[in-house]
Amino acid sequence: MTRTSKTKARPSARKPPSRRPEGGNEVRFTHPDRVYWADAGVTKQDLADYYRSVWDWMAAHVASRPLALLRCPDGTSGQCFFQKHASAGLSEKSLHTVIDRKGRQIIAVEDLDGLLSLVQAGVLELHVRGSTIEHLDVCDRIVFDIDPGDGVAWADVVAAARDVRERLAAIDLQSFVKLSGGKGLHVVLPIDGADWDTTKNFAQAVALAMTADDPKRYVAKITKSLRKGKIFVDYLRNSLEQTSVAAYSTRAREGAPVSAPVTWEELGRTKGGNQYTLLNLGKRLRGLKQDPWKDIGRVKQKLPNLRALRGR
């Protein structure tokens, strides 16, 4: 079943209006007082209210993108599991679903009601692909996950993200950054569409160049034993079925942190990847003069030819 939403996501996020945004009228919550984050006292209703408040900022980064969902029906203190399709407890009614060429169901949300239906189902994290549900084979966002090993200072994580930015800027590519909601940072590169092989090869080339230039700081292999005191430049998010946490999604971690976009200029003033939470992000957004990612949907740039890149 494929559902076409009546309300399309707005192309650019902006400061939320003082009134509550439209939407969310069809979803009915059972047990709204169920605690999802016991350590922070955050309930299902609190999570729903949070997403209502950030939908204008979030919509352009989650709507119409294939999702992988971390569900924790009993909150972070209970069992959690990843899910990529509709099933018991997750209705297709408020979702956009398609069947891919391998016969697998792909799900997405198109509007606030779709997102709130996931809250009802105990979804505490939303992970998105770097493509849209209409064009599964075309990547339009590349993610470099800057993932620190044990013993790495936050200042070094920030420096690594800036290193990625500078390398991309040297080949005329503009990038954006966000706190992961965990230990690290995500450098996000919007592109004008590329196939997945080209995408992964490019991301890998950047990561390998970093490790070759500074092997004491960086590693491009996922092997845990190699990562102590180093930063894993994770390029593996950039293939057909891989995902990364969505901008403004909560994380199923202590304190209810969120993955928060920031500007490059303010990155140096941040204190950690989990600095912003469901409880304090509203204050941050109300104090912003403009969306940190206001231009991400307007940037049109193509990946360079790798052979030409190697020749530089």
**Predicted pLDDT at 285:** 97
Q: Could you tell me which residues come within 8 angstroms of residue 180 by beta carbon, excluding any fewer than 6 positions away?
A: 145, 186, 245, 259, 273
DSSP assignment letter at 159:
H
Mean pLDDT of 237-266: 97
**pLDDT at 2 > cutoff 80:** no
Predicted confidence at residue 309, as pLDDT, reads: 54
Report the pLDDT value the prediction gives residue 278, as an integer from 0 to 100: 98
pLDDT for the residue numbered 9: 33
Q: How many other C-beta atoms are found inside a 10 Å radius of the C-beta of residue 219?
A: 22
List the one residue out of 196, 219, 210 whose CA is nearest residue 303. 196
Average pLDDT over residues 58-66: 98
pLDDT of 6 over the 70 cut: no
Mean per-residue pLDDT for 101-111? 93
Residue range 257-306, pLDDT digits in tens: 999 999 999 999 999 999 999 999 999 999 999 999 999 999 989 999 87
Predicted confidence at residue 177, as pLDDT, reads 98
* Burial class of residue 268, CB neighbours in 10 A (0-12, 13-18, 19+): exposed
Q: Please provide the average confidence, as pLDDT, over all residues in the chain.
A: 90
